[in-house]
Amino acid sequence: MLYEDNHLLAVNKAAELPTMGVAEDRESLLTVAKEYIAEKYDKPGNVYLGIVSRLDAPVTGLVLLARTSKAAARLSEAFRTRQVRKIYLAVVAGRPPEDAGVLEHYLRKDERHRKVHVTHAGAEGAQQARLSYRLLGSAGGLSLLEIELDTGRKHQIRVQLAKIGCPIVGDRKYGGSEDFSPGIALHSYRAEFEHPVRREPMELKARLPKSWSRHGGVSRLPLPS
């Protein structure tokens, strides 16, 4: 656990652990977190936890959960109105055309193939997606990027980086050719937001998985400690 009080729980999600929404016989971040709360505080019956941010199963890092309905409502509104600053780290193949920039695309879900595609503004189901990135270093044909989301679309970072020819390492769904099991080289690293009850500014960070430093190519990049 990264942070815990009566209103919030922040965790560092492992690779390939779904956030929620899986069959009852499958483990998810939500079920693990509920078991943790039930055991630590000896709570009988159902434990309330509200997921206010999600990560794709292969993505690691910071996820916020609300321990009360009030905190859940306020945090959900903060995410909706873009009052939460979310920073990711990604290792991609190649190097972006510029060392820093903004990516804007329109994305459309393909439920049949469980993917997301880049489309045009007038397409049915199209949603605008926007992020900014900054190059932190390059080595051996790989680049480390810091990414800040402006919108929170499904698979957004993965699709947008692949679109500019820089697929995330390990992300075979979107063009990555190099193995990075478990998961992919995308990590929810930092979040800045206002505490939903105390109204104090907060900044939380999630350490990178050890798998990043064990991967030969990735370990050559300037990874944060």
Measure the CA–CA gap between 13 and 18, rounded to whole angstroms. Answer: 9
Residue positions annotated with a catalytic role: 56
Structure tokens at 104: 């804007």
Show the tokens assigned to 71.
Answer: 């905190």
CA distance 16 to 201: 31
Instruction: Enumerate the H helices of the chain as residue ranges.
Output: 29-40, 69-80, 156-163, 210-214
* Torsion of the alpha carbons at 155, 14, 212 and 103, rounded to the nearest 10: 20
Q: From its phi and psi, is residue 209 left (phi > 0), alpha (psi between -120 and 50) or beta?
A: beta
* DSSP, res 181: -
Using an 8 Å Cβ cutoff, are 99 and 80 in contact? no
Maximum Cα interatomic distance, the chain, rounded to a whole number of Å: 55
- Looking at the DSSP bridge assignments, the partners of residue 143 are 92, 138
Q: Which two tokens stand for residue 138?
A: 């390059």
Specify the amino acid at residue 27.
E
